Structures are given as structure tokens and as C-alpha cells.
Amino acid sequence: MFKSKRLMELMLTVMPGDLRDRIDQMKNRIDFVTPARQAEFPYLSILLDAAIQQKVLFIDYDSREGMSSREIQPIGIYASNGFWYCPAYCFLKSDFRLFRCDKIHTAVYNTSTAKPLDLRHVHLGNRKSFIKLKQENIGVYIELSKEGVQRCEAELWPVPKLHIRKDGTGWLDGDVPKSEISYFTKFFIGLGSDATVKNPPELVDSMKRVLSEIIAKYV
């Protein structure tokens, strides 16, 4: 498990000396709290270095379709809900893709085939504008209790957008990739009665199906 101490060490390796010294003096006054995960992230250093140095890596990646080998050029790494992610240009797909770092089984520098691209203008803040893949989006609207709002505030979604009323309740709306219906199904089921999905019908039907499967296990 990648703990807060390891995160601080990784950040210190890429900081200027004077800033590193100041941060070192404050190390007992700053911490990063993330959910406990069983996942391992052994390749964060090489992924970060490749992003900074504009280098190509050869990786073995365990995706939903199974294990595959590919060449990627990382543009950065970031953490979300206890997992680490690496947006990168994938030479296999000829487009940018997002890789979950614990699914990367090997990562080595590759100097024999793919030539590094000039991606100095691409970073974590603007990466999505460079994705060529056109995704089919679908509009969502979800009502939230106060507790539901608090749960959703911890998420890092750009969409759906969270709106909060004066009484602490709120709602989510916006367009999300249709391919993410499965993810949002599980997420909103996890919120229980603190979330009420109004739209789209596809998400409501997906939640009904999953809930029926869960109930069937206990009949």
C-alpha cells in the first residue's frame, strides 16, 4: 500500500534543493490521508520520471480485456480515493488513455522502437482536450440528502457537477460518458437512500438489475 510517507518522499525527489529543505522541516506538520487499499504501486517513480523527462515506457497492463503489452508516454500521475492513476499517450491506441497504476505489472524504459513525442504542452490540467476518442455521453440528474452531498464532495469528478442548497441537500447533473454507467450504478447503490437517481432511465434500470442480483443472493 502506498502510504503518505512514500508520497512525500516521491514529491521531495523532484523538488529544488532549497524547497526540499523547507518541506523537510515541515514533514511532521503535513500529511496526506487516503483510504486504505490493498493495491501496490511499485512503478510510480518511473512513471513520474518518464512524464518529466518525456520518455517512453514499455508496460504490461491488466485491463478489463486481459493482460496486454504496450508502449506509453506518461504525462503525469495523480491519486484519487486511495488509487494512483497515470494519464499517458498509448502508442497501441494512438491516443491518450488513463491507466490505473496498480494494474501495471511491469514498467521499463523503451528506447528501441517508439520515438518519444513532444508532449510538453500536455499536462494533467488540460489532458482531456487532447483525447481523440469521441465518447457517447448521457445526461444524469441525481437528488442528494445532506449525507449524500458530503459523500459526493469527496469525489473528484469534473462531471456530474455537484450543486448544494442552503439546507445542505443538493443534486448532481451533467453529461457523463455512457460507458461509465456501470461505475455510477455501483457508486449510487453505495449511497443507499441518500441518493435518488431521476435520470437517465439507463442508470435507473442498471441499478434495478444490480439490486435484483444482490437480493437474489439472500433469498
> What pLDDT is attached to residue 2?
46
Geometric angle at alpha carbon 176, from 146 and 47, rounded to 5°: 100
> What pLDDT is attached to residue 160?
86
Q: Are residues 45 and 77 in the same domain?
A: yes
Residue 205 domain-assigned (yes or no): yes
The residue with cell 501495471 is 104
> What pLDDT is attached to residue 71?
95
Q: Are residues 149 and 194 in the same domain?
A: yes
Query: Residue 195, CB half-sphere, CA atoms under 13 Å: how many?
Result: 25
Residue 4 domain-assigned (yes or no): no
Residue 191 domain-assigned (yes or no): yes
Asked if omega into 200 is within 30° of 0 (cis), the reply is yes
pLDDT < 70 stretches in the chain:
1-12, 14-15, 20, 23-24, 27, 30-39, 132-135, 156-158
79, 110, 130 - which closes a domain = 130
Q: Are residues 63 and 142 in the same domain?
A: no
Q: Are residues 117 and 39 in the same domain?
A: yes
Residue 101 domain-assigned (yes or no): yes
CATH number, domain with residue 158: 3.30.70
101, 130, 159 - which closes a domain = 130
**Domain with 142 in it:** 137-214
Residue 11 domain-assigned (yes or no): no
Q: Residue 165, SS3?
A: coil
Q: Are residues 108 and 168 in the same domain?
A: no
Residue 25 domain-assigned (yes or no): no
Q: How many residues does the chain have?
A: 219
Residue 12 domain-assigned (yes or no): no
> What pLDDT is attached to residue 27?
65
Q: Are residues 82 and 162 in the same domain?
A: no
Angle between helices 4-13 and 44-53 (to 10 degrees): 30
Count how many domains the chain has.
2
pLDDT digits (tens, 9 = 90+) for 35-89: 666 667 889 999 999 999 999 999 999 987 789 999 999 999 988 777 889 999 9
> What pLDDT is attached to residue 130?
75
First to last CA, the chain: 37
Q: Are residues 123 and 41 in the same domain?
A: yes
Q: Are residues 121 and 141 in the same domain?
A: no
> What pLDDT is attached to residue 81?
72
DSSP 53: H
Residue 219 domain-assigned (yes or no): no
Closest by CA to 193, choosing from 123, 132, 135, 146, is 146
Element (H, E) at 38: none
Residue 172 amino acid letter: L
Distance, CA of 50 to CA of 114 (rounded, Å): 14
